[in-house]
């Protein structure tokens, strides 16, 4: 296979697209061919792949692109090894409904020695936010619904993380990086984790929830490319994941919130997650000391 240039980086020209959603399966393929890939293999389980084949044909790329319908773990590729894997595998909270394990299977089965993965690094961040008004609307709503007491549903509502856009003005603490993944070395077992965090409070305020977002990096490019899904940058469809705490924390500038974030694939469905957060407000004021643990399901 001939060489191709990927953002300035010399790489072999075989390009394998794993675990793509409906729209990406033909966009990424065509971009790879346009960039100089000798042959591209796209894998998608959905029936949209038939339309993707039509798009490939009308663009005159049928000799350069092979599209296979099925699961990555079950299809047979026309090559024993590929030189590049490209996949937009990330889900909410990075790992919810993600296709990362499929990418790892493709890496271990098909990636040639010295091959490249795009993207290849991910970092998960935690921060504390003030969100009293929305928490009252989402959680406090169950105190009384049309004159009826619905408080039994309040505990259930607290276990359901909210995926939404958080304004940066609501962020009370500095962020803390809790998890870093290198797609060249990460294993499926690493996707079950408990990681500590330490959040420094920027101002006197309340903390009603912790939010989680992720950054993604393409480190193998000539000029490394990185983008963030955090509240400090432009909107992405991943937004941020909000975990409301059972108690609101009254924090002062310079104090810290310490704790641990745990996540593991659900035993019922590995694309869903069981998440737990432990926290403690480190303060010398005995009237504001608070600690606890909350469990969530995504």
**Pairing state between β 39-44 and 176-182:** unpaired
User: In angstroms, rounded to a whole number, what is the distance separating the alpha carbons of residues 98 and 90?
Assistant: 5
User: In angstroms, rounded to a whole number, what is the distance separating the alpha carbons of residues 168 and 256?
Assistant: 19
Marked catalytic residue, from 88, 101, 217, 255: 88
- Upper half-sphere CA count for residue 255 (Cβ side, 13 Å): 22
Q: Under DSSP, is residue 138 helix (H, G, I), strand (E, B) or coil? A: helix
Helix (H) or strand (E) holding 177: strand 176-182
Helix (H) or strand (E) holding 110: helix 100-110
Q: What is the DSSP annotation of 195-253?
A: EEEEEEB-SSEEEEEEEEEEEEEETTSSS-EEEE-STTS---TT-EEEEEEEEEEEE-T
Which residue, among 105, 108, 111, has the nearest Cα to 83 in the 3D structure? 111
Give yes or no for a contact between 77 and 92, defined as CB atoms under 8 angstroms apart. Answer: no
User: In angstroms, rounded to a whole number, what is the distance separating the alpha carbons of residues 6 and 152?
Assistant: 55
Q: Which residues of 62-96 are buried (b: 16+ CB within 10 A; e: fewer)?
A: eebbbbbbeebeeeebeeeebbbbbbbbbbbbbbb
**Sequence-separated (6 or more) residues with CB below 8 Å from residue 23:** none
Q: Can 88 be counted among the known catalytic residues? A: yes
- Catalogue the active-site residues: 88, 97
């Amino acid at each position: 296979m001939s060489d191709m240039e990927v953002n300035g980086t010399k790489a072999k020209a075989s390009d394998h697209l794993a675990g793509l959603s409906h729209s990406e399966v033909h966009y990424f393929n065509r971009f790879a061919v346009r960039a100089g890939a000798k042959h591209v293999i796209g894998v998608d389980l959905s029936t949209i792949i038939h339309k993707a084949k039509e798009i490939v044909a009308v663009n005159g790329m049928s000799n350069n692109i092979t599209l296979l319908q099925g699961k990555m773990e079950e299809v047979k590729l026309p090559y024993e090894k590929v030189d590049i894997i490209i996949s937009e595998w990330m889900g909410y909270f990075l790992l919810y409904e993600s296709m990362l394990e499929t990418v790892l299977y493709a890496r271990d089965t098909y990636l040639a020695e010295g091959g490249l993965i795009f993207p290849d690094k991910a970092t998960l961040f935690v921060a504390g936010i003030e969100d009293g008004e929305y928490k009252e609307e989402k959680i406090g709503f169950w105190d009384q619904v049309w004159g009826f007491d619905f408080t039994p549903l309040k505990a259930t509502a607290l276990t359901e993380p909210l995926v939404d856009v958080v304004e940066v003005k609501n962020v009370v603490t500095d962020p803390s990086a809790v998890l870093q993944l290198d797609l060249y070395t990460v294993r499926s077992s690493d996707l079950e984790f408990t990681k500590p965090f330490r959040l420094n409070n920027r101002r006197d305020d309340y903390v009603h929830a912790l939010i989680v977002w992720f950054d993604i990096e393409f480190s193998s490019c000539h000029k490394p490319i990185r983008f963030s899904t955090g509240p400090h940058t432009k909107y992405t469809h991943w937004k941020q994941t909000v975990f409301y705490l059972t108690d609101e924390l009254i924090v002062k500038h310079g104090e810290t919130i310490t704790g641990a974030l745990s996540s593991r694939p659900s035993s019922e469905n590995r694309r869903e997650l069981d998440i737990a957060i432990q926290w403690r407000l480190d303060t010398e004021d005995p009237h504001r000391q608070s600690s606890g643990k909350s469990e969530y399901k995504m």
